[in-house]
């Protein structure tokens, strides 16, 4: 949805068009948009007053929204709806007087945005050891949320430790970890048993892609996180290897197909496609774009 939103915004408004942080954590996607004139920024002072700014799929804090309004920016919110869900949960718990434990990785764009919703009520937890050191003002008013792109296994280890230490801890009725992340982890967990080598298409700053490579290594497989076929090293493979090719949630299908084609041509590989879960979820475009498209159609 975020990539489609940026493609449409470029067509509607032209370039330069600004995006707060990378639209998704995938270098192939980011570089393609850069070539088209999109400018990715980490600070709002880099965006000219009155320009068009898109918020990335990872979301932003209320402070960023307020600063954007003060600069007179036309903003388009391409935040993933699953991230928005976590933001709304944080607001609800904070307004009810809870201390919120956010399970996630320090410095990740999504974590920064989520913690900005309730900075005085939220504590970041990165490991079971962090749980052991926790001291909270009121254990009876405690809840946890999770970053959407975590390893399910890692998150569950932390949640189990939280429930041991704080049996009354509250949590949202539905998991925060996104369906696309969970599906890919399940696929790697199942299919890596049949492989010698695992190639994960995704960028180094992609949290969900990193988790896939880690999961394969935990299964004892040689696993490599790569941006594309140009990163493949021939000495990773033996002649009779079975190679599992998978991808992070924001890797374009084109990059995956190029990698498979490289293996086919270079090693005369036979290719078998496996499906673990069908994904039929589609998110609507941001309201700001829907309104423009509707007005044009009218």
Q: What is the CATH number of domain 179-267?
A: 3.40.1010.20
In tens, the pLDDT along 172-221 reads: 988 888 888 899 999 999 999 999 999 999 999 999 999 999 999 999 99
Task: Check if 2-80+284-297 and 179-267 are the same fold.
Answer: no
Tell whether the model's pLDDT for residue 282 goes beyond 90: no
| Confidence label for 297 from pLDDT (cuts 50, 70 and 90) | low
Q: What is the CATH number of domain 2-80+284-297?
A: 3.40.50.11270
Enumerate the domain spans of the chain: 2-80+284-297, 82-165, 179-267
Rounded average pLDDT over 135-139? 94
Q: How far apart are CA 159 and CA 147, in angstroms?
A: 13
Under DSSP, the state recorded for 170 is: B
Q: What is the largest CA-CA distance in the chain?
A: 62
Say which of 110, 117, 129, 291 is annotated catalytic: 110
In tens, the pLDDT along 25-41 reads: 999 999 999 999 999 99
Q: Is 110 tagged catalytic?
A: yes
Question: E strands within the chain?
Answer: 17-20, 38-41, 52-55, 74-77, 99-103, 122-125, 142-146, 197-201, 222-226, 243-247
pTM to 2 decimal places? 0.90
Beta-carbon contacts of 163 under 8 Å, excluding residues fewer than 6 positions away, are 169
Give me the sign of the Cα torsion angle 187, 191, 193, 195.
negative
Q: How far apart are CA 98 and CA 94, in angstroms?
A: 5
pLDDT above 70: percentage of residues in the chain:
99
Q: How far apart are CA 15 and CA 92, in angstroms?
A: 38
Q: What is the CATH number of domain 82-165?
A: 3.40.1010.20
Question: E strands within 97-162?
Answer: 99-103, 122-125, 142-146
Residue 252: CB atoms within 10 Å: 17
Residue with tokens 């393609």: 32
Rounded average pLDDT over 152-165? 95
């Amino acid at each position: 949805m975020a990539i489609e939103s940026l493609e449409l915004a470029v067509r509607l408004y032209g370039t330069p068009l600004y995006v707060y942080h990378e639209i998704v954590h995938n270098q192939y996607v980011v570089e393609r948009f850069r070539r088209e004139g999109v400018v990715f920024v980490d600070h709002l002072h880099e965006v000219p007053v009155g320009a068009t700014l898109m918020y990335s799929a990872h979301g932003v804090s209320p402070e960023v929204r307020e600063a954007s309004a003060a600069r007179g920016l036309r903003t388009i919110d391409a935040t993933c709806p699953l991230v928005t869900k976590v933001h709304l949960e944080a607001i609800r718990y904070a307004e009810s007087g809870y201390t919120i434990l956010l399970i996630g990785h320090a410095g990740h764009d999504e974590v920064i945005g989520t913690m900005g919703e309730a900075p005085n009520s939220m504590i970041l937890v990165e490991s079971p050891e962090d749980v052991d050191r926790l001291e909270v003002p009121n254990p009876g008013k405690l809840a946890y949320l999770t970053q959407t792109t975590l390893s399910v296994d890692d998150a569950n280890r932390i949640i189990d430790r939280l429930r041991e230490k704080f049996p009354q801890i509250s949590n949202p009725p539905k998991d925060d970890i996104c369906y696309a992340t969970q599906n890919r982890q399940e696929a790697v967990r199942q299919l890596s048993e049949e492989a010698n080598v695992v190639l994960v298409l995704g960028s180094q700053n992609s949290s969900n892609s990193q988790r896939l490579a880690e999961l394969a290594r935990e299964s004892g497989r040689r696993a490599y996180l790569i941006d594309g076929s140009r990163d493949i090293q021939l000495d990773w493979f033996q002649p009779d290897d079975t190679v599992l090719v998978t991808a992070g949630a924001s890797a374009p299908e084109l990059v995956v197909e190029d990698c498979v084609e490289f293996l086919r041509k270079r090693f005369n590989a036979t290719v078998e496609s496996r499906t673990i879960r069908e994904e039929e979820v589609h998110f609507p475009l941001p309201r700001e774009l829907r309104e423009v498209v509707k007005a044009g159609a009218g």
